[in-house]
Each structure stands twice: as structure tokens, then as C-alpha cells.
Amino acid sequence: MPGGRSVAGRPAIEALYQRFFGSFAVEHEATIAEVQVHGDWAITWGSEQMTLTPSVGGAPTTLQGFGMSLLRRGTDRRWRYARGINNLVPEMPPIRD
């Protein structure tokens, strides 16, 4: 998560997402701008926007930024998420002249 610590391993990632999705209603949109495949590895890059509404009430927060994911193809030929990073930050108001 932006500003958070790196998370590794299925149990840690599952716990993180249970807390996250238990705390917010999430609307997420991602646009993939580029995909590169290199053997059994693939890299994706694109933009993201996420609106988080606290489950306990309160104003929603919209985050936007870019993300990159690394996928690995297994021996069963299926692609699986291996690593990811993003720089989502609160949406900034437009700059006016």
C-alpha cells in the first residue's frame, strides 16, 4: 500500500486485504497502457484511480496514480501476480490560471 511497508507471502497479503476491504467500500478503475512479455515473465504498466469510502461513515477519498505489475507464468501455463507497486496519492484539484 502507498506509504506502507512491503508485504510478502500469501497469509500476510490476505490479512492486509481483509483489513483493507473491511474498512472501506472500494471503487477501483485501472487502465493498462503497456504489456511486455519476456518468456515466462510479463510486465504491465498503467494508471489507476481508487475511491475509498470508510465503512464507518465519512467522506470518500479519491486516489490516483500509476502502477506496475510483474506476472510469472507457472508450469501449468497460467499467469500469476508476482509483484506490484503503485504511487496512488490523493487526487489534486485542477490548477487554474
- Of 49, 52, 62, the C-alpha closest to 93 is 62
- At residue 16 the predicted structure's pLDDT band, cuts being 50, 70 and 90, is confident
Q: CATH number for the domain including 63?
A: 3.10.450.50
Domain membership flag for residue 40: yes
Indicate the number of domains in the chain.
1
Contacts 24+ apart (CB under 8 A), 26-29: 26/50, 26/51, 26/52, 26/53, 27/51, 27/53
Range of the domain at 71: 25-90
pLDDT in tens, 19-49: 989 999 999 999 999 999 999 999 999 999 9
* DSSP assignments along 50-93, one per residue: EEEEETTS---EEEEEEEEEEEEE-TTS-EEEEEEEE--EEPPP
